[in-house]
Chain A
Amino acid sequence: MARFLSLLPLLLAAGTLDAHARPADEDGFTRPLDTLRFNPGLDQREFERATFHALAVQDPFESFNRRMYHFNYRLDQWVMLPAVRGYQYVTPRFVRTGVSNFFSNLGEIPTLANSVLQLKGKRAMNATARLLFNTIIGVGGVWDPATRMGLVRQSEDFGQTLGRWGVPRGPYLVLPALGPSNLRDATGLAVDFGIERQVDYLDYAQASGGEPGITALRLVDTRYTTDFRYGQLNSPFEYEQVRYVYSRARDLQVDE
């Protein structure tokens, strides 16, 4: 009897366990679909409607864009990714992180300019603080102490500034080497490049003008830090999916 008594707490515990668990049938299966409310006729066409709608991105240069997409795909496989592999082979990780931090720190300049242009005071302050901490304590931006202090990197570019003041996306464009864009964002890219040249922070613009190796390093670093791989969506319709997600994600960045 005493032995049975010692089982009591266990049984009581088992009772409370059941209260938490989802009800299961005799096999132990919880039948997750039974809790869902379905359309009674099972004839809803919302997936089709939403996907049709997602295809409606302004793309008058589609034929050119598709060719450029395939060009970029090959460039990536035959030049960019091998370059990244070589870079990973010859550098230890802390060097690569330092390089990424350095270029990311330079990127705070357009972020600061565009935050001001969009009248986003808080973000401009964030960019200024990051720039100062990372340049001074982080030795020219090679370390990123600002993120550890809780100042999250929040990038702003001129495409977003244009969007913020009501400029529409314009036609979708696939840029050589740079990939998905649109008329508005491609313009923004050119302006941001100009801002960086003008400011010439840490003499970077001047130095990279005379030394193509620095620009090459920046390109390799950009590829190194970009997770996207062509073919990863593994769909014959990757072009359409990238086009929609790019366009919608940019809207999100503009709205935010």
Chain B
Amino acid sequence: MLQLLRLIPLLAALALPAQAADISPEDYGFPLDNPFEATIASTPLELRASVPLDDDIDQRDYSLRLRPDREFSLPDNFWPVKRLGYRLARQDGPAPLVFVISGTGAHYSAAKTESLKRLFYSAGYHVVQLSSPTSYDFMAAASRYATPGYSRDDAQDLYRVMQAVRAQQHKLPVTDFYLVGYSLGALNAAFVSELDEARQSFNFKRVLLINPPVNLYTSISNLDRLVQTQVKGVDDNTTFYEMIFEKLTRYYHRKGFIDLSDALLYDFQQSPQRLSDEQMAMLIGSVFRLSAADITFTSDLINRRGLITPPDYPINEGTSLEPFFRRAMQCNFDCYITEQLIPMWRAQYDGGSLTQLIDQVSLYALEDYLRRSSKIAVMHNADDLILGPGDIGFLRRTFGERLTLYPRGGHCGNLDYRVNARHMLEFFRG
């Protein structure tokens, strides 16, 4: 009888309509149950979806001239980012086209954008890879206010870029348009999709959000907090980076030779030098802090705000940027929002408090749209570092069965796992 009572929650759950597709760890089979390890190492090679080699992909990099004024107003050492680059992989004949939006600070050629490209290309799609609106090149070459974080502005910038890509590639035979983004790029994709309902340039057939932040402020607070973990092995003589290199040195001594293969990280985590959760968190946090420094420096310089670089400071290709790097590096995401994003938002849009900003830039702002748009789906992980309590509840309520929740993967660590790859393709096929 007791056993029967245990069935009640199960039956109750079955009775609820449109439940999210939750997958148990055993059915899922993704081997890394540590979210920090998954985030850093991503999927073991042998479990990744099989995709074509780069040599077999017909792809090229192109560039767009979107902000000619910046060619004069930006210092000389910005020459590589005065035009916006993007990558196009083309099929031989007519095919659907997927736009891929990269995550925080990421270039269009970032590893995760590349692996999504390989996957969709192998399934017969043309693929256009775009840099994140928070990335150095996008801010300089494509962004109107160069102060990323205000999601509607970022979506408009992205939309203009996508239209310019379409115009430049007007001979490419495209049957339908699809949109996918990961991490911050997924939040961007949601706003772009909403914008497209009004503008109708693409009429996306399907839009896929992979590991989006739900509350943007929760996500950046989590990331800022990662560099506050208690790490062992750091003292007056050894900084955190030095400690990592020392561990690597000892590891290679044992191994006998240096090997930089993809398997390195798994093997390393099996060795006595393995990193603790706190150390891995610090490493992930450091990477994001470097992105925050790039955003802080670039946004300040383009808008001549004088917080990091004095407005008339002469900069040429030989100028040392170290003093500005030192200053920008001390500004985390929270500092960037307080010092640059909020003042810009207040000046441009008569904005109010931080709470209002959060509501406007997070997924909450699109709740109604997301609830009724059956063409949009989310894939997320139960152990993603950028989420806070309640975020998955919001996704369940808003997306219903269009949410696929994986039990493992950390932040985007399972993006190229076979099962995820299959689900992505199935969703696009409809």
**Which chain A residues have a beta carbon within 8 Å of chain B's beta carbons?**
4, 7-8, 11, 17, 20-22, 24-33, 35-39, 42-44, 46-55, 62-64, 66-67, 70, 73, 77, 88, 93, 122-123, 152, 154, 229-237, 239-241, 248, 251-253, 255-256
Measured CB to CB, the closest approach of chain A to B134, in angstroms, equals: 10
CB-based contact B329/A51 at 8 Å: yes
Does B66 belong to the interface (CB within 8 Å)? no
CB pair A46 B240 closer than 8 Å: yes
Interface string of B79-112 (1 = CB under 8 A from A): 1110001000000000000000000011101100
In the complex formed, the residue of B with least CB distance to A241 is B290
The listed residue (B33, B298, B317) touching A66 by CB distance below 8 A is B317
Q: Mind listing 25 A-B residue pairs with CB under 8 Å? A: A4-B4, A8-B3, A27-B389, A28-B392, A29-B391, A31-B389, A32-B36, A32-B384, A33-B385, A36-B278, A38-B229, A38-B230, A44-B227, A46-B227, A48-B329, A51-B290, A52-B326, A66-B317, A231-B81, A235-B294, A236-B294, A237-B294, A237-B297, A240-B321, A248-B241
| B396: chain A residues within 8 A (beta carbon) | 27
B314-341 residues with Cβ-Cβ distance < 8 A to A are 317-322, 325-326, 329-330
A24-B382, A46-B234 given as contacts; is B24 within 8 A of A53 (CB)? no
- Residue numbers in B under 8 Å from A122 (CB-CB): 256
How many Å from the CB of A48 to the closest CB on chain B? 6
Residues of chain B contacted by A25 (CB below 8 angstroms): 389
B12 within 8 A of A: no
Q: How far in angstroms is the closest Cβ of chain B from A122? A: 8
Secondary structure type dominating chain A contacts: helix
> Please, how many residues of chain B have a CB less than 8 angstroms from a CB on the other chain?
86
Do residues A252 and B245 form an inter-chain contact, with CB atoms below 8 A?
Answer: yes
CB pair B240–A50 under 8 Å, yes or no, is: yes
State whether B35 touches A4 (Cβ < 8 A). Answer: no
Q: Which residue of A lies closest to B258 (CB)?
A: A256
Which chain B residues (209-242) contact chain A, with CB distance < 8 Å?
222, 225-231, 234, 239-242
B293 interface hit (Cβ, 8 Å): yes
**In the bound complex, CA of A49 to CA of B106 (Å):** 24
A93 proximity list for chain B (CB < 8 A):
55
* Residues on the B chain within 8 Å of A237, using CB: 290, 293-294, 297, 321, 325
Closest to A77 in B: B80
Q: When the two chains form their complex, are residues B384 and A50 in contact, meaning their CB atoms are under 8 A apart?
A: no
Give bound CA distance, A234 to B131, whole Å: 9
Could you say which residues of chain A place their CB within 8 Å of the CB of B298?
A: 236
Q: Give Cα A51 to B289, complex, Å.
A: 10
Among B144-152, B174-182, B246-254, the stretch in contact with A: B246-254
The answer to whether B350 has its CB under 8 Å from any CB of chain A is: no
Q: Does residue B273 face the partner (Cβ distance < 8 Å to A)?
A: no
Please, which residues of chain B bring their CB within 8 A of the CB of A49?
239-240
Distance (whole angstroms) from the CB of A76 to the closest CB of chain B: 10
Residues of B within 8 A of A43 (CB): 228
CA separation between A88 and B56, bound complex, in Å?
10
